[in-house]
Amino acid sequence: MTELIQKFVLYMKEVRKTSENTILSYERDLKKMNQYLAGQGIQRERQVTATSLNSYILFLEGQGRKPSTISRNIASLKAFFQYLQKEGYVDQNVAEGLKSPRVERKAPVALSEEESMRLLQQAAGNSPKELRDRAMLELLYATGIQVSELITLKMSDINLQMEYLVCADGSRERVIPFGATAKQALEAYLEQGRTSLLSGEDSVYLFTNCSGQVMSRQGFWKLVKSYGKKAGITGELTSHTLRRSAMGG
């Protein structure tokens, strides 16, 4: 089924315009399934049954895979066999009846005040990037806004004098105060860092990456996790962690 997996990957990329990360996950999951089934003597797509796929899921569980990982694998199998049915390679989607395991939702743990301070202190330098990072972390910590809101803030959304920002959520706008510490970090970034990052270009966005383009969520989390490591924070840093920390746990 290797050739069909590649056709499916190409279809998801060129027709469905699926994100690169999702495509890589599909491809990885399906290659593992194919390897397992081949070991069971199942070489062709029409030989695959619901029972053989359930056997594969039990195999993953026996390997100690997390419920979230198994759920993702099941999603990959369903999408793949739906594609095979749609294209006429098989008569039915044999993965349709697969049941995802229940994923235990753990309450996000907030950083302690000391951990929060250590994290904020990591971006204490005066380079344009560090000034930007400090301003982003201080603003996030002061307001508790979502990361997607933070990275899409525009210059016009910030009122430095009155110390508040405006977040648009559909037709609703929220006015959120941020206080003196975040204001100081923002002023330092705007006066000494932002122009250098833009390299003579202009942008409506408050925060940009080092190429002067709007920052991605992945780019933001990469820097947060880097600072978290430097700060000696051993727990997982997520948007929920930072928001709970900002809102006092």
How many Cα atoms within 13 Å fall on the side-chain side of residue 139? Answer: 33
Please write the tens of the pLDDT for every residue from 229-246.
887 876 666 655 665 555
Please write the tens of the pLDDT for every residue from 200-234.
788 899 998 888 888 888 888 888 888 888 878 76
Q: In terms of domains, do 126 and 81 share one?
A: no
Q: In terms of domains, do 80 and 120 share one?
A: no
- Is 104 a residue whose pLDDT tops 70? no
Task: Tell me the residue range of the domain where 175 lies.
Answer: 113-246
- Is 248 a residue whose pLDDT tops 60? no
* 231 lies in some domain: yes
Return the closest-CA partner of residue 4 out of 98, 79, 95.
79
CATH of the domain at 58: 1.10.150.130
Other CB atoms within a 10 A radius of the CB of residue 146 amount to 16
Rounded mean pLDDT of 151-179?
84
* 93 lies in some domain: no
Q: In terms of domains, do 78 and 133 share one?
A: no
DSSP letter (8 states) at residue 233: -
* 108 lies in some domain: no
Model pLDDT, residue 57: 92
CATH of the domain at 131: 1.10.443.10
* 49 lies in some domain: yes
Q: In terms of domains, do 63 and 121 share one?
A: no
Model pLDDT, residue 249: 47
Q: In terms of domains, do 189 and 79 share one?
A: no
Q: Select from 69, 86, 103 the last residue of a domain.
A: 86
Residue 174 pairs in a beta bridge with 167
* 68 lies in some domain: yes
17 three-class SS: coil
Q: How far apart are CA 38 and CA 224, in angstroms?
A: 42
Q: Select from 86, 104, 123 the last residue of a domain.
A: 86
66 three-class SS: coil
- Alpha helical stretches, state H, the chain: 2-14, 20-39, 50-62, 67-86, 113-121, 128-143, 147-151, 179-192, 194-198, 217-230, 239-246
Domain count for the chain: 2
Q: Select from 86, 104, 132 the last residue of a domain.
A: 86
Q: For residue 211, give every residue at least 6 positions away whose Cβ sits within 8 Å of its Cβ, in sequence order, or none.
A: none
Write down the pTM of the prediction.
0.52
Q: In terms of domains, do 238 and 119 share one?
A: yes
Cα separation of the two ends of the chain: 49
Rounded mean pLDDT of 72-89?
92
Q: In terms of domains, do 121 and 68 share one?
A: no
